[in-house]
């Protein structure tokens, strides 16, 4: 089973976390199932950018983002070449290292 390393995030996951994942689960669902309260304002329907993450290792093992995801990523804060919407990025058969961004664009969030 692949392992997913969630790097430390000051508010959401201060100590980081390593979890095992079944292939086919989204990074967002995996995080939520393991107590990492990643934002997902659109309820994981690829209609916002709040679940944006950086896949620092293993990015090449993910299926390519489709056009809709790419369009939303264009609107996310702090996008880089390793960016994905975690609700759309499905774990394959390789380990991943995931970094949660410091900020998200979420007008209804009370975190900021």
For residue 108, being part of any structural domain is answered with no
For residue 107, being part of any structural domain is answered with no
CATH of the domain at 67: 3.10.20.30
For residue 74, being part of any structural domain is answered with yes
> How high is the pLDDT of residue 104?
72
Supply the range of the domain harboring residue 73. 3-99
CA distance 100 to 85: 11
For residue 104, being part of any structural domain is answered with no
For residue 105, being part of any structural domain is answered with no
For residue 58, being part of any structural domain is answered with yes
> How high is the pLDDT of residue 107?
44
> How high is the pLDDT of residue 106?
60
For residue 111, being part of any structural domain is answered with no
Residues 80-105 have pLDDT tens digits of 999 999 999 999 999 999 999 987 76
Residues 43-77 have pLDDT tens digits of 999 999 999 999 999 999 999 999 999 999 999 98
In the chain, the number of structural domains is 1
For residue 106, being part of any structural domain is answered with no
pLDDT of residue 108 exceeding 70, the answer is: no
> How high is the pLDDT of residue 77?
86
Instruction: Pinpoint the alpha helices (H) of the chain.
Output: 27-33, 67-73
Cα-Cα-Cα-Cα dihedral sign, residues 78, 99, 91, 61: positive
């Amino acid at each position: 089973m692949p392992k997913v390393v969630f790097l430390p995030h000051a508010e959401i996951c201060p100590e980081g976390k390593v979890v095992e994942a079944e292939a086919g689960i989204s990074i967002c669902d995996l995080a939520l199932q393991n107590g990492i309260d990643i934002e997902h304002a659109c309820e994981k329907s690829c209609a916002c950018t709040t679940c944006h993450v950086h896949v620092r290792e293993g990015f090449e093992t993910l299926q390519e983002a489709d056009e809709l995801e790419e369009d939303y990523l264009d609107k996310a804060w702090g996008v880089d070449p390793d960016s994905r919407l975690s609700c759309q990025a499905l774990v394959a058969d390789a380990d991943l290292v995931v970094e949660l961004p410091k900020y998200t664009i979420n007008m209804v969030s009370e975190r900021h």
